[in-house]
Structure 1
């Protein structure tokens, strides 16, 4: 899968350095050519000989050691790399890269490479959550560096929290995705809405729907893999956001979702409205819990803003994609939404079909464009559906 791909893997000084051995082994099994650069601190945790044996390439750890070739080492490795991977990345290494410091072989080679750079942080929870570290990470993301979020769990120091190096399997999957996925949406800015909205009745009750957010999250994840800068606006879900989003905006109500989309509209070329937005909200909110009584409870509802309709009036030359999840009259209802909401195309699915409803990992869709052309698809994984949608968007972007 990674045949003829060269990966330069930087290892910095943390206890999680031992997990980088497994990463190297897995990358080699996939056919990659792996060159390892170690910081001086990292060799206190794992022997260079271990990485040398696993990678079948000599390991560089000292900028001033006697060269094994007549190449300028850091420039040579920087040019060879199809991907530069840092596992684990300490707060120190992240800080140096973010501030342009290149005082060892690892950071010097990072500064010299034009390859994509993927960073997997690992450190104590308090260090990871430190505002300076978070600022450095955000600054690097803004420059196009990609990150693999650390896991939560028991850390080597005995603390429990976020900062644990992601698993070798997740790291390798991300490498494979970056090196094999077509980057045809690179530089495109896409905003995606996902999940349900939540409309409060009182402090303990609310109106919502069955949307899990899986479809929107799948579109966001696949768009990132194809190089897009993705802003994901999400209602309440149990899902972890995809890696390397440009922005992740959590909201509850339809009004909050509308405001988030409008606030970020100008910078985006594509809007994908996959969220299941509540059509109605309680007319009156009670700031105290409504007590049960012998009488029936009547809740008066007001209409929420139709976000796709409102954005359709503002879209200008942007691409706007809508969704129609129906239980009857699917085509008729979907076509009505295209015209009314000024959509470029709509993704329609019948919720009564097995494998096409909320909360499952598959979907069965039809796409309908503004000219009324209908394309039907078989049951597919939501990631496959996501790429069908993104392929259609790519065609529109190229026009």
Structure 2
């Protein structure tokens, strides 16, 4: 295991998700890690040092000005002796303090003295996560080389609250830490373009044609590429989710705008085309709202074909070294994916059947995906996974490709 005999300094932050730190300690130790806990003042309001110390099997550090712990500049020693520093939960306050370089408590001083990888597991109310100040802080931290896992969408501790801000589960955090220590910044120095979400093709100023895409899969792949060290340009149609930290977002609306943004982002080493681009658009969008009058005939629309972004880039003079497309199909999945592979000049097609799930509802726009990786070497089927895990697996495969060419 990657964590075997690794010394992990765990900073437990002062949020309600601090209770998950107990399970996280257990998960890390199961993988062979030595866990050295540091608890903030806020964390001690939610869980006790006694419980944390019992699970970690050692001393719990709590105070910057502890005569016993700081007689040999303990915060420097703790920072330097660890193989990695993990902050879980990482509250909005902790993100702000670290982004501002504050070291007025033990956790802050340790993080400023760190010369090892730092992984943050954010946890906060969705409104706090979406606040512009938090977004600026996250962007600053990612630019400084800090790594993030999560947050996730889900129910909050507050009654009736849900959204993006829930701390990643302990197993996911342990997986991310293993990946970090395994050297998954394998795409450092590579430039990637990812398309995500739907396109909106206007009928008139208030109506449009679109696809049922949430953008979750494209955004998850962009996040995984950024975590692997790539410079990522995320070209996204209209979605209701924020861009992942560490990527450059280009927001577009139509297929033609998306193609222009992709071409403007070239050259690139990787192109991953996940967006559900409308194949057709109304040929002549009305400049005023189309009104329905008494006894009027149903509206008849004339359509024009949209540009094929995947095929355009797959045969482009500045074609990326690796081009990946997605095929969301409702029938003849493999035949359609194989045909798309050759016709559009792609190296890989990730094909998924979006007709129905087990309940009979369309799975497009959900939180999970079951994909088949189609290449000229054959078809590899992956089990149903979270879209984040699909992103990580795809990035691992792409990193293997570049490693294999001696890059």
| CA distance, structure 1, for counterparts of residue 127 and residue 94 of structure 2 | 16
For residue 390 of structure 1, report the CA deviation from its aligned partner.
Answer: 1.1
SS in 1 for 2:380: coil
Q: Cα 1:168–1:141, aligned 2, differ >3 Å: closer, same or farther? A: same
Task: Give 1:282's aligned residue.
Answer: 282
Q: What is the number of equivalent residue pairs in this alignment?
A: 384
Task: Give 2:187's aligned residue.
Answer: 185
- Unpaired runs of 5+ residues, structure 1, are 368-373
| CA distance, structure 2, for counterparts of residue 162 and residue 333 of structure 1 | 36
For residue 86 of structure 1, report the CA deviation from its aligned partner.
Answer: 1.4
| CA distance, structure 1, for counterparts of residue 200 and residue 128 of structure 2 | 34
| CA distance, structure 2, for counterparts of residue 222 and residue 125 of structure 1 | 21
Task: Give 2:271's aligned residue.
Answer: 271
For residue 177 of structure 1, report the CA deviation from its aligned partner.
Answer: 3.8
Task: Give 1:231's aligned residue.
Answer: 233
Indicate if the aligned counterparts of 2:5 and 2:34 stay in contact, CA closer than 8 A: yes
Q: Cα 1:272–1:397, aligned 2, differ >3 Å: closer, same or farther? A: farther
Q: Cα 1:295–1:15, aligned 2, differ >3 Å: closer, same or farther? A: closer
1:90 matches 2:97: no
Alignment of 1:1-399 (within 5 A): 1=1, 2-67=3-68, 72-123=73-124, 127-147=128-148, 148-149=150-151, 151=153, 153-155=155-157, 160=161, 165-169=166-170, 170-180=172-182, 182-202=184-204, 205-209=207-211, 216=218, 219-220=221-222, 222-235=224-237, 244-249=245-250, 251-265=252-266, 268-286=268-286, 287-289=288-290, 291=292, 295=297, 297-308=299-310, 311=313, 316=318, 318-323=320-325, 325=327, 334-338=341-345, 345-347=347-349, 359=364, 361-367=369-375, 374-381=376-383, 383=390, 386-387=394-395, 390-391=398-399, 393-395=401-403, 398=406
Of residues 30-39 and 211-220 in structure 1, the stretch that sits farther from structure 2 once superposed is 211-220
Indicate if the aligned counterparts of 2:210 and 2:278 stay in contact, CA closer than 8 A: yes
For residue 178 of structure 1, report the CA deviation from its aligned partner.
Answer: 2.9
| CA distance, structure 1, for counterparts of residue 85 and residue 233 of structure 2 | 25
Task: Give the structure-1-normalised TM-score.
Answer: 0.77
- Unpaired runs of 5+ residues, structure 2, are none
CA RMSD for the aligned pairs? 4.1
Indicate if the aligned counterparts of 1:202 and 1:290 stay in contact, CA closer than 8 A: no
Of residues 327-336 and 111-120 in structure 1, the stretch that sits farther from structure 2 once superposed is 327-336
For residue 90 of structure 1, report the CA deviation from its aligned partner.
Answer: 3.3
| CA distance, structure 1, for counterparts of residue 23 and residue 146 of structure 2 | 23
Q: Cα 1:76–1:262, aligned 2, differ >3 Å: closer, same or farther? A: same
Indicate if the aligned counterparts of 1:27 and 1:34 stay in contact, CA closer than 8 A: yes
For residue 34 of structure 1, report the CA deviation from its aligned partner.
Answer: 0.8
Q: Cα 1:322–1:196, aligned 2, differ >3 Å: closer, same or farther? A: same
| CA distance, structure 2, for counterparts of residue 144 and residue 61 of structure 1 | 26
| CA distance, structure 2, for counterparts of residue 378 and residue 221 of structure 1 | 23
For residue 282 of structure 1, report the CA deviation from its aligned partner.
Answer: 0.7
For residue 298 of structure 1, report the CA deviation from its aligned partner.
Answer: 3.1
| CA distance, structure 1, for counterparts of residue 274 and residue 127 of structure 2 | 36
Q: Cα 1:88–1:209, aligned 2, differ >3 Å: closer, same or farther? A: closer
SS in 1 for 2:344: helix
Indicate if the aligned counterparts of 2:374 and 2:380 stay in contact, CA closer than 8 A: no
| CA distance, structure 1, for counterparts of residue 20 and residue 144 of structure 2 | 27
